[in-house]
Amino acid sequence: MTVLQVLPMVAVLVGLVLYTVLANADLGTGVWQLTAGSGERAHQVRAHIYRAIGPIWEANHVWLIFVLTVLWTAYPQAFASLASTLVVPLFIAGIGIVLRGTAYALHGATNGPGDHPEVDLVFALSSLITPFALGAAVGAVASGRVPAGPVPGDIITSWLGPTSLLVGVLAVAGGAFLAAVQLAAEAARLGEVEMAERFRLRALLSGVVAGIVAIAGAFVVSVDAPALAHGLLDGAGRSAVVVSAVAGVATLVLVWTRRAHAARFVAAVAVAALVAGWALAQGPTLLPGLTVQQAAAPYNTLLAVTVSIVAGAVIVGPSLALLFGLVLGGRMDRPVDVPETAVPARPPRDRRMLGRGAVGLFVAGAVLVVFASGAVLMTVGLLLVLVAVVAGFVAVGPADLGLDTDDGTGSGTLFT
């Protein structure tokens, strides 16, 4: 097995961990939306949730697109098998994602939580459906219910096995826990002691529930998917499982002692170790009868994907660090006073010449595009047309629309 055949899978797993930690913490807020109840306190809880997920929301959900695109490029036949068998849970997850994103956008146009309770309800319910469906799909793969090849497995029973239900419930419970930890940390950062305390209790509660589900899961997996259980408990995955368990307990201790900020990083370690344990326990098998190596795309594609991932990471990494730095550093919390800078008045320019030039360039470019033979002249013509477009936009400009003279009342002098 060459390194190139495995690297994209490592990237997929890293993407999965980040999606679980970041987006599932987002999705986990659905539980707390749904259980907030009614009244002023519930209103405050919902407002805190919407505020906390604000600026980072969009970026978190792109991790899923990253996972899908790398998977279908680097392991196309495995992806096709997954999509053929897991058509139902993936469709449900897709619908959940649409409903949640739309509800989030709708919320931005309301006057806050409670203004349109049905929007909050759709937001909360879709936040539960999505992680459950995706978790069930992961469970189907982990328990070997997705056959490789063109003949799909059972599209109903494949994702409703015990392991699927376990992973689905664990995804929801774990998401609720991650969300509560994040929200407690965010409230603490903003100095809202009471809100931090509310989410501390929620974090402890959901953390214990998630822990119980995980322990119960060990028995479920050992019955339903003995091979996976062997890999996790006796084989290569054991140390990862131990790390995950220790990190999970440490997260709870940190939350207990009101150190939610540190807790969120340790929680991420717990998730990462669990995913790594799954990968070690199952590898090198991707789907029954299909190894990662067999599923891998040809060399050129693997090389191109790997180069793209590295280049992408170089660009996305610092950008993401900037966003998280601004948000966690409190720069996005309240407005800063910007000193008024006097802008010197400029005399209006006559842009008629520029307008004529744009028309001339456009005609010349159009003639070249339509009649020139050969790529060079054609490209020159196209560039001329595009320059003419920009020049025309500048020539027209909005500068002469009476901004200086108008009294702002809009006295209807426009129409003759």
Question: Which residues, 244 to 303, sit near another protein by CB under 8 A?
Answer: 290, 294, 297-298, 300-301
Range 24-53, binding another protein (CB under 8 A): 47-48, 50-51
Indicate the DSSP class of residue 158. Answer: G
Give the total residue count for the chain.
416
Of 138 and 213, nearer to another protein (C-beta) is 138
Of 3 and 345, nearer to another protein (C-beta) is 345
Of 155 and 236, nearer to another protein (C-beta) is 155
Q: Out of 236, 246, 262, 389, which residue is the one contacting another protein (CB under 8 A)?
A: 389
How far apart are alpha carbons 178 and 92 in whole angstroms?
23
Candidates 91-99, 167-175, 236-244, 248-256; binding stretch for another protein (CB under 8 A)? 91-99
Of 38 and 111, nearer to another protein (C-beta) is 111
Q: Out of 191, 347, 374, 402, which residue is the one contacting another protein (CB under 8 A)?
A: 402
Which residues have CB under 8 Å from 348's CB, separation 6+?
399, 400
Q: Out of 3, 39, 118, 150, which residue is the one contacting another protein (CB under 8 A)?
A: 150
Question: What stretch of H or E contains 80?
Answer: helix 76-85
Does 376 engage in binding with another protein (CB under 8 A)? no
Closest separation in Å from C-beta 145 to another protein: 15
Burial class (CB in 10 A: 0-12, 13-18, 19+), 151: exposed
Candidates 196-204, 209-217, 221-229, 406-414; binding stretch for another protein (CB under 8 A)? 406-414
DSSP, collapsed to helix, strand or coil, labels residue 291 as: strand
Range 112-141, binding another protein (CB under 8 A): 112
Nearest C-alpha neighbor of 25 from the set 134, 129, 170, 176: 176
**How far are the Cα atoms of 249, 257, 276, 277 from residue 243, in angstroms, in the given order?**
10, 21, 10, 9
Burial class (CB in 10 A: 0-12, 13-18, 19+), 166: buried
Letter string b/e over residues 359-376, b meaning 16 or more CB atoms within 10 A of that residue's CB: eebbeebeebbeeeeeee
Does 353 engage in binding with another protein (CB under 8 A)? no
Closest separation in Å from C-beta 14 to another protein: 14
Of 208 and 332, nearer to another protein (C-beta) is 332
Candidates 30-38, 191-199, 208-216, 394-402; binding stretch for another protein (CB under 8 A)? 394-402
Taking phi over 0 as left and psi of -120 to 50 as alpha, with beta for the rest, 287 belongs to beta
Q: Out of 4, 34, 106, 243, which residue is the one contacting another protein (CB under 8 A)?
A: 106
Letter string b/e over residues 390-400, b meaning 16 or more CB atoms within 10 A of that residue's CB: ebbeebeeeee
Range 53-72, binding another protein (CB under 8 A): 54-59, 61-62, 64-66, 68-70, 72
Q: Out of 6, 125, 204, 369, which residue is the one contacting another protein (CB under 8 A)?
A: 369
Does 93 engage in binding with another protein (CB under 8 A)? yes
Closest separation in Å from C-beta 138 to another protein: 15
Q: Out of 3, 342, 374, 376, which residue is the one contacting another protein (CB under 8 A)?
A: 342
Does 228 engage in binding with another protein (CB under 8 A)? no
Burial class (CB in 10 A: 0-12, 13-18, 19+), 300: exposed
* DSSP annotation string for 170-222: HHHHHHHHHHHHHHHHHHHHTT-HHHHHHHHHHHHHHHHHHHHHHHHHHHHHH
Letter string b/e over residues 39-71, b meaning 16 or more CB atoms within 10 A of that residue's CB: eeebebbbebbbebbeebbeebbebbebbbebb
Query: Could you tell me how many residues of this chain bind another protein (CB under 8 A)?
Result: 126
Range 311-330, binding another protein (CB under 8 A): 311-312, 315-316, 319-320, 322-323, 326
Closest separation in Å from C-beta 46 to another protein: 9
For residues 188 to 217, the per-residue mask of contacts with another protein, x marking binding by CB under 8 A and - elsewhere, is ------------------------------
